[in-house]
Amino acid sequence: MSNVDFSFLQYGCQEIANNARLKAYVGWAATEGAWAGSNCCVEMPNDCYCPFDGLPSDYVDPITDEVCWYDPLIPESSEFLGVYITKVTGLRASTFARSPQENIASGVTLGRPQSGSRVFQIEALVIATSCCGMDYGLEYLRRTLELGGCGVGKCLEGCGDLGTCGLTCLTARVCCPEDEQGEDTGLRKWVNVGLVDGLAPVEDEDSGRCKCCMQRVTFTIQSEDRYAFGCEPTVCLDKDADLVDTRIECFDWNSCTLPFAQDECTVDPLCVDPTCILPQPPSVIDNCFCEPMGVSIDCCCVTDFANHRDETFVVTITAGKNPNDANYSNRGQRNTRLIFYNADPKKSCPSDPEVVEREWGEAQECARLEIPYLKPGATVVFDGRTQRITVECDGQCYPGAGTVYGARGTDPFPLLASCSGIFVCVEYDLANTQFELNPGLGIVPAHTKIERYRVYG
DSSP string, 403-430: T-EEGGG----SSSTT--SEEEEEEEET
* 97, amino acid identity: A
Name the nearest CA neighbour of 449 among 298, 342, 309, 290. 298
List the single range of 21-30, 97-106, 251-260, 273-282 with lowest mean pLDDT: 251-260
User: What tens digit of pLDDT does each residue of 122-157 get?
Assistant: 999 999 999 999 999 999 999 989 887 764 443 334
115 vs 95: CA distance, rounded Å: 5
Above 70 in pLDDT, residue 208? no
94 vs 108: CA distance, rounded Å: 23
Torsion sign across C-alpha atoms 43, 44, 45, 48? negative
Tell me the mean pLDDT in the region 411-419. Answer: 60
408 vs 368: CA distance, rounded Å: 9
Tell me the mean pLDDT in the region 65-70. Answer: 92
Give 170's contacts (C-beta < 8 A, 6+ positions apart).
Answer: 9, 10, 11, 120, 189, 190, 193, 221, 223
CATH of segment(s) 8-96+111-230? 2.40.30.200
DSSP string, 14-55: EEEEEHHHHHHHHHHHHHTSTTTT-S-----S-----GGG--
Max CA separation in the chain (angstroms): 87
Secondary structure element (H or E) that encloses residue 137, with its range: helix 131-146
So where are the chain's domains? 8-96+111-230, 234-456
What phi-psi label fits residue 234: left (phi over 0), alpha (psi between -120 and 50 degrees) or beta? beta
Name the nearest CA neighbour of 319 among 425, 160, 408, 435. 435
314 vs 326: CA distance, rounded Å: 32
Q: What distance, in Å, lies between the first and last C-alpha atoms of the chain?
A: 24
63 vs 211: CA distance, rounded Å: 23
pLDDT value for 302: 81
Above 80 in pLDDT, residue 273? no
Task: Specify the pairing of strand 388-393 against strand 379-383.
Answer: antiparallel
Angstrom distances, CA of residue 41 to CA of 26, 36, 46, 82, 136: 8, 8, 15, 14, 18
Give 352's contacts (C-beta < 8 A, 6+ positions apart).
Answer: 245
List the single range of 5-14, 75-84, 142-151, 173-182 with lowest mean pLDDT: 142-151
440 pLDDT band, cuts 50/70/90, is very high
pLDDT value for 82: 96
User: What tens digit of pLDDT does each residue of 339-353 get?
Assistant: 988 887 788 888 877
Above 60 in pLDDT, residue 387? yes
308 pLDDT band, cuts 50/70/90, is low
User: What tens digit of pLDDT does each residue of 371-381 get?
Assistant: 999 999 999 99
* 354, amino acid identity: E
